[in-house]
Amino acid sequence: MRVDTLITNGRVFNAYFKKFIEADVAILDGKILYVGKQDTNLLQPQKIVDATDKYIMPGLIDIHMHIESSMATPYTFSNEIIKRGITTIVSEPHEIANVMGVEGVEEMLKASENCEVDVFIGIPCCVPSTSEKLETTGGVLGLEEIDYLMRHKNVACLGEFMNFKELISKEDSKSHRILKLVREQFPQYPIEGHCPKLSGLDLAKFVYHGIDSDHTQQTIDGMLERIQNGMFIQIQDKSLNPELIDVLNSMDLFEHVALTTDDVIASKLMGSGHLDYLFKKAVSLGITPENAAYITTYTPARRMRFYDRGVVAPGKLADLIIIDDLTEFTVERTFKNGKLVFSRSEACDQVYEIPKFPEHFYTSVHLTSISEDQLLLKTPHVKDGHVACRVMEINDGTTYTTPLEKKVRVQNHRILWEETDNLLVAVFERHGKSKNITLGLATGNTIKRGAVASTYVHDHHNLLVIGKNLKDMVIAANKVIESQGGICTVENGQILAKLNLTIAGILSDKPMDMIGKELQKVVESLNCLGYDHYCPVMSLATNGLAVSPALKITDKGLVDVLQSTIVSLII
């Protein structure tokens, strides 16, 4: 019989037996027809691809990630990851939803339509991540908006539910109503979770409400407790360490986990890679290539109830990658729906048609120039003397901060933070709603000189400026305002690096390699300013993340995350 493509003599990953098997793979009408050797002679292929000595795997599937973390548009992002063997992603557009609401989600869906990669969406259910009392966002998704969005095509799940405090403590809250809606009206969709440190009866209550995955940083005990309670674990880079891998291997827990990238910034993507990087890392740390393949293809597909992919078997989508080497994970060819979309040796047709977002997405920073007097830190209660301040200590290797208490001298009502090792942090509401400004103090693994300003700030994406002097802070902030979004570093009045994020203040419309290079310059300039952190851009972006313990800053004030309240700078 006629088939479109026959890939011959490869070592094909069979997920059911968890092993590579010598076989030919026949493709018909975008799907796999036959995998085997015995009956290949009955096939008349239009095209033959020789895969002798090579490995054939399903395209990788990343089920927990945010395209916005790459700061690229879906189309640009897709073109990059297809080369790395990723053919399906589930992206949760909660960054753009925080800026643009329902329209942001719909525009991301539209912008994903012509991507080579299949882009599914998790509907953001915590926009804002906390409540309107703790942060001002550009968009708010309530019950009605979520109900509306869940009905869209290419929805895979309810995106990460993170407000576990409200769920566990308050009955009939917005959280309860959202979960009830999804469990009852859309039972076909998984409900994704975000629940660091939750345990015991609290964890059970969380799962009881239908949230049965977690992608946050895992401890071994936490992971085991989650699996025992029926949770699927999405292991991201932070969690992928030798101790955890030992447990996965010794207890054979691969049914219950997948590798996911969550947030990969452009410079990291262009440098070390994406899910392909996690595959390599997993193998280098002692997971067999078979199990690494399993948890980047089969288990993520199953978790998202994608019955049509994730295995090389008859009837499944012909999303296939040919790999030279399983340790280096060098992708030679990528097929999507049976079509060759990437090849190291052949040219592939690619239609470059970058989708445009609506006009107002390019004018989303509703701020005029700021001035130094907006950054003056004062206290009306003390004229001269000292005050005890809540200071946010930023830590390397994590998004968590430590709340410190520090004495700072006051002179004529001005808090003289410049005399200390602290930095000033300011958040300007930029969605054109409240015009709030919050001032706070930070220390620890952050910059030591100059200033940095950014509109890429989880999750509210207001303008955050952190600096050691007001002049640099004003320059950095105004540069970002001028370009309608982005990140800018400044020292001694000079701009060190700058990445424009002109779409909703969080995405660039430039090609991926350019975003990567510009962001890398930003990272280097941050390092240069003394930012001692494994990922300074993400660290900076999470200074405002009010669901990540313990002390964070939003336009509404300093947030005590564990208590879910606004606290004053001065104790």
List residues near a copy of itself by CB under 8 A.
Answer: 1, 14, 16-17, 21, 28, 31-36, 38-39, 42-43, 187-188, 200-201, 204-205, 207-210, 212, 227-230, 251, 253, 255-256, 305, 307-308, 311, 313-316
Nearest approach in angstroms of CB 186 to a copy of itself is: 11
Nearer to a copy of itself, 204 or 566 (CB): 204
Nearest approach in angstroms of CB 217 to a copy of itself is: 21
Nearest approach in angstroms of CB 158 to a copy of itself is: 13
Chain centroid to CA 488: how far? 21
Nearest approach in angstroms of CB 85 to a copy of itself is: 21
- C-beta separation of 449 from 468 below 8 A: yes
Nearer to a copy of itself, 134 or 198 (CB): 198
What does 436-491 look like in DSSP terms, one character per residue? -EEEEEEEESS-SSSEEEES--TTT--EEEEESSHHHHHHHHHHHHHTTSEEEEEE
Could you identify the residue written with the tokens 């997971």? 287
Residue 454, strand partner residues: 464, 487
Nearest approach in angstroms of CB 350 to a copy of itself is: 29
Nearest approach in angstroms of CB 222 to a copy of itself is: 14
Nearer to a copy of itself, 224 or 404 (CB): 224
Phi-psi map region of 28: left, alpha, beta (phi>0 left; psi -120 to 50 alpha) = beta
Nearest approach in angstroms of CB 207 to a copy of itself is: 4
Residue 401, strand partner residues: 394
Nearer to a copy of itself, 24 or 459 (CB): 24
Nearer to a copy of itself, 15 or 415 (CB): 15
Q: What values do phi and psi take at 204, rounded to 5?
A: -60, -40
Nearer to a copy of itself, 38 or 345 (CB): 38
DSSP class of residue 181 equals: H
Nearest approach in angstroms of CB 208 to a copy of itself is: 4
Nearer to a copy of itself, 67 or 304 (CB): 304
**What distance in Å separates the CA atoms of residue 89 and residue 261, rounded to the nearest whole number?**
10
Nearer to a copy of itself, 42 or 562 (CB): 42
Contacts of 526 (CB under 8 A, 6+ apart): 447, 452, 489, 536, 537, 540
Nearer to a copy of itself, 21 or 514 (CB): 21
**What distance in Å separates the CA atoms of residue 196 and residue 291, rounded to the nearest whole number?**
25
Question: Which pair of tokens denotes residue 109?
Answer: 């869906």
**What distance in Å separates the CA atoms of residue 346 and residue 562, rounded to the nearest whole number?**
54
Alpha helix ranges (H) inside 286-360: 289-293, 299-303
Is residue 242 classed exposed, middle or buried when 0-12, 13-18 and 19+ CB atoms within 10 A define those classes?
Answer: exposed
Residue 145's CB is within 10 A of a number of other CB atoms, namely 19
Nearer to a copy of itself, 305 or 407 (CB): 305
**What distance in Å separates the CA atoms of residue 121 and residue 330, rounded to the nearest whole number?**
28
Nearest approach in angstroms of CB 206 to a copy of itself is: 8
Nearest approach in angstroms of CB 177 to a copy of itself is: 17
